[in-house]
Structure 1
Amino acid sequence: MDDDEVIRQLIAVNLNLEGFEVETATDGQDCLDRVLDVMPDVITLDVMMPHLDGWTTAQRLRTEAATSHIKVVLVTARAQDDDRRRGRGIGVDAYLTKPFDPAELIQVVRDLAAAGGLGN
């Protein structure tokens, strides 16, 4: 999920091409509103989004029993060590810095899916 339509589509197209089913959301609140209906295996989040940022979204996903198992990847321009530490503290599973290599994104999602016993 990313508030930038171009980035959202880039992520979706690359994952679709690799056989993943992809649902998109426009911001953190949209994600949380839909997550229980979709129950994704992996969620990609941007940190800087309107309505509800990626930090808060990830934290809420982690604190709810029904969503705490979902793998979370932060895909963001925020690349400082403090940002990475904050993500680890929340329980984010992976962190990719924009601009990201689509092949790296695919590998991260594939690895997380495999770690969770999931297939693509």
Structure 2
Amino acid sequence: MTSYRSWVDRLLDGFRGEPDAIVVRDASRSLDLEDAACARTDVVYAVALPGEAGTFGVLALRSRGSWVEADEVREHLRRLVEPAAAVGPVVVVDRLPVTEQGKPDRTIVFELLRP
């Protein structure tokens, strides 16, 4: 089993990791994955984490009253980032897991995104 810390530390080529952003770069542009997910009006917040074999996973918080599904968010991201990066697991939730400090709980997000 891969630990959360070692998994996050293994940022892959093509990703630039910062505490609050994963950015996909290709020859012509840079794209923040969380911003890309939130470009949909039915997603109000997103957490992106690097995944296995050049992929990334996204946990998306759907807006109140929205019925957006993971496949719709995944397809939206595919259109924006491929072939620069491969879309991995996408999970859509109604409630964001947060730490006691109110920040996204990346340990829980990691577990939710694990295949």
TM-score by length of 2: 0.31
Instruction: Choose between structure 1 and 2: higher helix proportion.
Output: 1
TM-score by length of 1: 0.31
Instruction: Choose between structure 1 and 2: higher strand proportion.
Output: 2
